[in-house]
Amino acid sequence: MIGVFDSGLGGLSVLAALVEALPQADFRYHADTAHVPYGNKSDAEIQRRVLAVGGELAAMGCDLLVVACNTATAAAVQALRAAHPGIPVVGVEPGIKPAAQETRSGRIAVLATESTAKSARLHKLIREHAGGVEVHVEPCPGWATHVELLQLDDPALATDIHARIEPLLAAGVDRIVLGCTHYSFLAPLLRRAIGKRARLIDVADAVARQARRLSGHLAHGNGRLHLHASAHPERLHAALPRLNLGYLSARIA
Write out the catalytic residue numbers.
69, 180
Contacts of residue 97, Cβ cutoff 8 Å, sequence gap at least 6: 125, 129, 130
**Bridge partner list, 90:** 66
- DSSP single-letter state for residue 40: T
End-to-end CA distance of the chain, in Å? 13
Could you tell me if 70 and 143 are in contact, meaning their C-beta atoms sit under 8 angstroms apart?
A: no
Q: Strand 175-178 vs strand 199-201: parallel, antiparallel, or unpaired? A: parallel
Please name the helix (run of DSSP H) or strand (run of DSSP E) that holds residue 108, with its range, or none: strand 107-112
Contacts of residue 238, Cβ cutoff 8 Å, sequence gap at least 6: none
